[in-house]
Amino acid sequence: MPSFDIVSKVDAQALDNAVNITTKEITNRFDFKGSHVLIDLNKKDFKINIETEDDMKMRQLCDVLISRAHKQGIDPMAFDLNKEGFQSGKTWKKEVTVRNGLIQEDAKKIVKLIKDSGLKVQASINDDLVRVTGKKIDDLQTIIQLIKTASLQIPVQYVNMRN
């Protein structure tokens, strides 16, 4: 029976490369010369800690980080930039969380979307992925197109396609 998995994963090495490239670019930019800038990646928790001198440089740094990550193949929706930066002494600090894995609510949204489609497929939640099985591979491809066109506001990948 054909099946595939819907996941939301971020490659840790690609994220590390994006942070390193961002650091290198910021040290070479004229508008950041001589200013305090710190970008620290916590690979275990998928969090990026950023420190700059002011809020404007913080926003510029976040833009550079997202553009470099996108060039590394990381979806910009994987970054949670909702948390505002805060001032601590003379520096601005911000913690950017990188979404890695489907949370339960997002998995339930995906399963509901699949069930509402009316196609003869089964969707089940297994930890941080959604497995979709069906009798016809055409139905599975239709589900992939359905999820791509839906506005879920989360980055998803389709892996482990079996025939």
Nearest to 92 by CA among 123, 153, 133, 51: 51
- Residue among 158, 10, 2, 129 at smallest CA distance from 77: 10
Record the pTM.
Answer: 0.83
pLDDT, one tens digit per residue, over 8-28 is: 999 999 999 999 999 999 999
Domains defined along the chain, listed by start? 3-8+102-162 (3.30.70.860), 12-98 (3.30.70.990)
Q: Would you place residue 94 in the very low, low, confident or very high pLDDT band (cuts 50, 70, 90)?
A: very high
pLDDT in tens, 100-152: 888 899 999 999 999 998 889 999 999 889 999 999 999 999 999 999 998 88
Write down the pLDDT at residue 83.
85
pLDDT in the model for residue 88: 84
Share of the chain residues as helix, strand and coil, in percent rounded to the nearest 5: 40, 30, 30
88 Cα distance to chain centroid:
27
Q: In which band, very low, low, confident or very high, does the pLDDT at 49 lie, cut at 50, 70 and 90?
A: very high
